[in-house]
Amino acid sequence: MSEYSIDQDIEVIAGGEFEREPVPTSKLKSWKSFIGMYAGEHAAGTEFMIGPLFLTAGVSAFDLIMGLLIGNLLAVLSWRFLTAEVAVKNRLTLYFQLEKISGKSLVTGYNLANGILFCFLAGSMITVSATAVGIPFDMPMPKLTDTMPNGATWVIIVIVIGAVISLIASKGYNTVSKAANWMSPFIVLAFLAAGIVALSQLGVSNFSDFWAIWGEGAEPFPRQIKYTIWHVVIWSWFANAAMHIGMSDLSVLRFAKTTKAGWTTAAGMYVGHYMAWIAAALLYAVYLKSPEALAFLSNGEAPPVAPGPLANNAIGIFGIIAVVLAGWTTANPTIYRAGLAFQAIMPKLSTFWVTIIAGTVATIAGLFPAFAMKLLGFVALYGFILSPFGAVIVFEHFFGKKFGITKNYAAVAGIKFNKAVFYAWLISFGLFYFISIQFDVFLSFVTLPAWLLCGVLFLVFSKYTQKSKI
């Protein structure tokens, strides 16, 4: 879920080359170039939060293990048969592809939303790193239900971490990428080691013992909702909705020689979103047996989910370092990409200053633990907002010709704002967000219907508006 690449070629993830033209054949890469990238990209700071949060939802062993197995497979299939297909055919970045269909003005709004959401995600990862940095200072850890800063120490640590991350990100993506290349194997190893140690601490000696950790599940913690297998399947499928069905990874997979590169996303899903999530959940399972956690539960409160102390309890200083680095390697490139999104809106500002602006917003967000403690809900909202724009690209690619609409209509007609795209997104987003709020429907459950409706409405509206234009 983090945004960094361990591929040395920075254009793969940052879109540093061929931003407004197809990638030339001489620059294409084999599927081997993407395996390490995706494995490292999806084993990072977010994983330290997501694994434990599943336990707070009272998920059962079967629902967690099988739900993640199925949901991650569906995500891989989405990358392979949607994102990779479009990417290899057109070889354009998401932003340029969307601009050709939607118009420059509409893409500006998309960039603003994308940049702000990136900042909030980066802020949650600054929160993650702060839980590790605060250990030597005996800092009170934020509770699962906390929304506001819990003290001066917390504020100071978050500001310092945010400032350091922002300054490094402002040096450019090459610095960010090189740092991530070195840190990624260390972080993956830390997840694996922490999971193994946690199994030992839980007294697990066979698969039955492992299964019994979650058993039949439990009631969710206070203010959390109960997760069934469907929650796990759908949430894990759409945890990266903006990247696959939302087409953000067009910018990555446009460098692939063939669509088979889409299968390499399995390295990220089953190293990061399977192994790492379960390992992080095991760390929290150990903590839940501690006197401190039991005291919280006896008082009707949810025990805190603080990755720093959890990892420290399992593998000591190695764990603290891993949490700091995991949060850092997620927040750093995420701030950088938020800066790029803002720079598309304010092209006269230098990369340095737009990155500093993004870092400032992310740091302010990091002061409020709610973004990290509600990460499951935030990630669902992120995908729900952005993924329908990907439906516009997908439906035009696969069904546009059969439906008789002009491809890349904004570019062909010379318009800056394609109303067909905007109204398709607005209606699908508004309708299903209303359903989610009004009827208390889990947001990830309506992500696919909203995506499908947006695609269909785009075709219908395009058929009408294009015909009237001609």
Give residue 366's pLDDT band: very low, low, confident or very high (50, 70, 90). very high
Buried b (16+ CB within 10 A) or exposed e, 218-242: eebbeebeebbbebbbbbbbbbbbb
Which single residue is written with the structure tokens 């309708």?
431
Which two structure tokens, joined as six digits, stand for 169?
A: 């990100």
Distance from C-alpha of 269 to C-alpha of 67, rounded to nearest angstrom = 13
How high does pLDDT run on average in the chain? 85
Which residues lie below 8 Å from residue 411, measured CB to CB, with a gap of 6+?
A: 99, 100, 101
SS3 content of the chain, % helix, strand, coil (to 5): 75, 0, 25
458 has pLDDT over 90: yes
241 has pLDDT over 60: yes
Number of alpha helices (DSSP H) and beta strands (DSSP E) in the chain: 23, 0
15 has pLDDT over 60: no
Q: Report CA torsion sign: 334, 337, 342, 343.
A: positive
Which single residue is written with the structure tokens 């002009």?
406
User: Where do the domains of the chain lie?
Assistant: 11-374
Distance from C-alpha of 397 to C-alpha of 101, rounded to nearest angstrom = 11
Helix axis angle, 173-201 to 277-287, nearest 10°: 50
> Which range (180-184, 219-223, 270-274, 362-366) has the least confidence?
180-184
Which single residue is written with the structure tokens 């070889």?
91
Amino acid 417: pLDDT: 93
Give residue 423's pLDDT band: very low, low, confident or very high (50, 70, 90). very high
Largest Cα span, the chain: 72
Distance from C-alpha of 324 to C-alpha of 192, rounded to nearest angstrom = 16
Helix axis angle, 447-469 to 229-238, nearest 10°: 40
pLDDT digits (tens, 9 = 90+) for 142-181: 887 878 888 899 999 999 999 988 888 777 655 655 666 6
Distance from C-alpha of 219 to C-alpha of 226, rounded to nearest angstrom = 7
Q: Report CA torsion sign: 357, 358, 361, 366.
A: negative
pLDDT digits (tens, 9 = 90+) for 286-339: 888 888 888 888 887 778 888 888 888 888 888 888 888 888 777 777 787 788
Distance from C-alpha of 164 to C-alpha of 160, rounded to nearest angstrom = 6
- DSSP string computed for 298-315: HTT-PPP--HHHHHHHHH
Residue type, 163: A
Average pLDDT over residues 216-239: 88
Which residues lie below 8 Å from residue 353, measured CB to CB, with a gap of 6+?
A: none
Which residues lie below 8 Å from residue 444, measured CB to CB, with a gap of 6+?
A: 231, 234, 235, 237, 238, 380, 383, 384
pLDDT digits (tens, 9 = 90+) for 50-83: 888 888 888 998 999 999 999 999 999 999 999 9
Which single residue is written with the structure tokens 């633990």?
369
Of residues 25, 10, 470, 442, the one with CA closest to residue 237:
442
- DSSP string computed for 392-428: HHHHHHHHHHHHT--TTHHHHHT-S--HHHHHHHHHH
- Measured between alpha carbons, how far is residue 357 from residues 25, 95, 99, 125, 349 in Å? 36, 21, 24, 17, 10
Which single residue is written with the structure tokens 């459950």?
445
Rg (CA), the chain: 22
Contact assessment for residue 308 and residue 131, using Cβ atoms and an 8 Å cutoff? yes
HSE-CB of 102 using CA atoms within 13 angstroms: 26
pTM tops 0.75, yes or no = yes
Which two structure tokens, joined as six digits, stand for 294?
A: 């039991």
SS3 256: strand
Of residues 65, 45, 67, the one with CA closest to residue 366:
45
17 has pLDDT over 90: no
Distance from C-alpha of 382 to C-alpha of 380, rounded to nearest angstrom = 6
Which residues lie below 8 Å from residue 93, measured CB to CB, with a gap of 6+?
A: 15, 18, 19, 250, 251, 254
pLDDT digits (tens, 9 = 90+) for 4-13: 333 333 343 4
Give residue 19's pLDDT band: very low, low, confident or very high (50, 70, 90). low
Give the length of the chain: 470
Which residues lie below 8 Å from residue 215, measured CB to CB, with a gap of 6+?
A: 60, 61
Fold classification of 11-374 is Hydantoin permease (1.10.4160)
